[in-house]
Each structure stands twice: as C-alpha cells, then as structure tokens.
Amino acid sequence: MPKPPKMADIAKAAGVSPMTVSRAFRRDASVGEKTREKILQIAEELGYVFDSTASNLRSQRTGFVAVTIPSLNNANFADTVRGLNEALQSHDLQLLLGYTDYNVEAEERLVEQLLRRRPEAIVVTGGRHTERCRRLLQNAGIPVVETWDIPEAPIGHAVGFSNADAMAQMVEHLHGSGARRMAFVGGDDRGDTRGADRRRGFVAAARRLGVDHRLLALGPPPVSMREGCKAMAEILDDPDPVDAVICVSDLAAFGALSECQRRNVRVPEDIMIAGFGGFDIAEIAVPAFSTIDAHSFEIGMQAGTLLASLLRGGGDLDRGRVIQRIRPTLKISRSTAARG
C-alpha cells in the first residue's frame, strides 16, 4: 500500500512550491485563481486529503471548540449542542464533545483530556467544578463559557439563567391556580447542580408562599419517565396526597402523568402536574402539561455566537466578560389549570 500523498507531492505534480499548495487550500490566502484551481484538481486526482494534524501544530490553531455536557441522552443538552454547532460550523470550528455523567470528578478528567487537544475555546455545562478543574480552565488561556447556570463567580463568560428563579415562578403559578400542597420530584443531586438549584427554588418559593411541601428523590440523574411513574405512584399511595406535583424534568412529569392515567386520577382536577425543560412531549401529551422552556437551543446558539466573534471576529476581542442572561419561558397548559 503506497503512502498517502502530502502537500509536497501535490506541489511537485503541479509544478509549484508546497507553500503555494498550502495557500490554495485556504480561503483567505492570495493565490492566482488559475493556480488554485489547477492545484485543487490535481489534489483531487491524487486523492490528497489535507492533514490538519500538521496544520494544527504549526499554526497553533486547531479549530476545535471543546464542549462538556452531563449527558448526550437528554434533549435539552442535545439542543444546546445543536445550537452551538449551528453557530460555529460556518466559522470552521469543530465541536469536540465529551460527557461528564453528572459528575464533577469525571468533568475534571474530561476537561483535562479535552484541553490536551488544544481547543480554541471551551464550553462547560454548569458552574460547579472541582478546584483543579477551575484552575485548568483558568490557565488554559482560551475563552471559557459556562452554560445553563449563571455561576456566582464565573470563570469566564456565562450564558444561562437561574434554575432556582425559574422553578420559583412555577410554584407561584401553581399557587395562583389554587394548589396548596405541593411535591417536588427530583433526583439525587450530588452531581446535578441544576436539579439541586431547581429544588432550592421550589423550597424557597413554597416557604415564602406558606405552601405545604414535600420532596421526593429518585436516584441518580438523569431522572427518566420510569422514575416519574414511581414517584407519582408513591404520592398517590400516600393516604394524605398533595394537590400538585412539580418534576425536575419533563420526562419525569410525563411518567407521573401516565401513572395518573393508569389509575384514572384526573389531571388537573385531582392533581396538577408540571415539568421542566420545554420538551415537545409537554405540549403533545393529553392533557398537555405546564413546563418551563429554558431555551436550550438558544443557550447553545448564543454561546456559539459569542465564541465565533471572540475567535474569528477580527479586532474587537476585548469585550471583557460577557454574562448572557436567558429568560426561561413559563408555558402554561391544562395540567395546571385552576379548578373551575
């Protein structure tokens, strides 16, 4: 098997210097139009594939943007990644994706692994990190964006919202619909700081409104539909049930809703249900249930746009620390309608 051709081979075949071939492969470079076409054609014929490993080393630019998310199998984070990708791909920036499985130690390892690849920027989910992880990010010398939270002490930029406030809004809405005894269904939140923040917001708002409240924890995140079923089963089996159930995610909320249907418990007449995330299912389920749309896609898009302008934007790099606050939307549906 012959070795694959390199630029020097193309150069020889085209009767130009390797430098000219290099220029022919880049948008910005100045090469005669005819020369470029000839070079590209010869490259195609010889089956040349540009080698970015060499380019990366010499130019000290990889075109990578590293991204850490807790889990791929979560429509919210997937949407954020989609937004990032959309904003970045037109600038020749490639996502380098890794997941942390809702675990800050795993995040630290992952971040180190990603930084070895010399990304030009890094996007992390959440604002809680190990000490060493913070240090790594700070010293990396590249733009850092924390998403989904607005951390108290951001490392670099941030695009997110207050999970606690968003949840508090939902509690107020339910209270306005007449709910007086509420349950919060969440997961263990050692690693899921967003889940923990939502729970905090729930408790704070419930206290403030003087609403009776209880908490259910359901094992490690991500909290799925099945867990929602179990939680609702537990709630309904309780001799002294609640008026309203708020779930840490729409998946759990749907599980809860389905459990009600199985038992012929009416929603919202017998019990109200609300979720979090703005998933399609909240709108499609019967009855549709109330949720909070955190605008996952938008979060990614904004983080991506910010990075694109920082990395490829020309001169105005010094806009300092950017804290982008997204406003989650409360989407009210029949599942939390006030009782006639």
Question: Which residues bind to a copy of itself, rule: CB under 8 A?
Answer: 1, 4, 47, 49-54, 56-57, 62, 72-73, 75, 78-79, 81-82, 85, 94-99, 112-113, 115-118, 135-136, 139-141, 224-226, 229, 251, 254-255, 258, 261-262, 280-281, 284-286
Side by side, which strands form the sheet with 94-99?
94-99, 64-69, 121-125, 144-148, 157-160, 323-325
For a copy of itself, the closer of residues 284 and 317 by Cβ is 284
Q: What own/partner pairs with CB < 8 Å and gap ≥ 24 does 132-138 have?
A: 132/108, 133/104, 133/107, 133/108, 136/108, 136/111, 136/112, 137/111
Instruction: Specify the residue, 287 or 313, whose C-beta has the smaller distance to a copy of itself.
Output: 287
What residues line the site for DNA (CB under 7 A)? 3, 6-8, 15-20, 22-23, 25-26, 30-33, 35-36, 50-51, 54-55, 57-60
Nearer to DNA, 5 or 220 (CB): 5
Which listed option, DNA, a copy of itself, none, makes contact with residue 35 (CB within 5 to 8 Å by class)?
DNA
As given in the structure block, the two tokens for residue 275 are 């979720």
Say if strands 157-160 and 291-293 run parallel, antiparallel, or are unpaired.
Answer: unpaired
Question: 286: which 2 tokens?
Answer: 């019967």
State in angstroms the smallest separation of the CB of 291 from a copy of itself: 14
If contact means CB under 5 to 8 A according to the sort of partner, which of DNA, a copy of itself, none does residue 78 touch? a copy of itself
| Nearest residue (CB) to DNA, 117 versus 339 | 117
Q: What angle, rounded to 10 degrees, do the helices at 250-262 and 225-237 form?
A: 50
Closer of 30 and 139 to DNA (Cβ): 30
Q: How far is the CB of 76 from DNA (least distance, A)?
A: 37
Q: How far is the CB of 58 from DNA (least distance, A)?
A: 3
Sequence-ordered strand ranges (E) for 59-120: 64-69, 94-99
Query: What are the counts of helices (DSSP H) followed by strands (DSSP E) for the chain?
Result: 13, 12
Question: Do residues 291 and 279 make contact, with C-beta atoms less than 8 angstroms apart?
Answer: yes
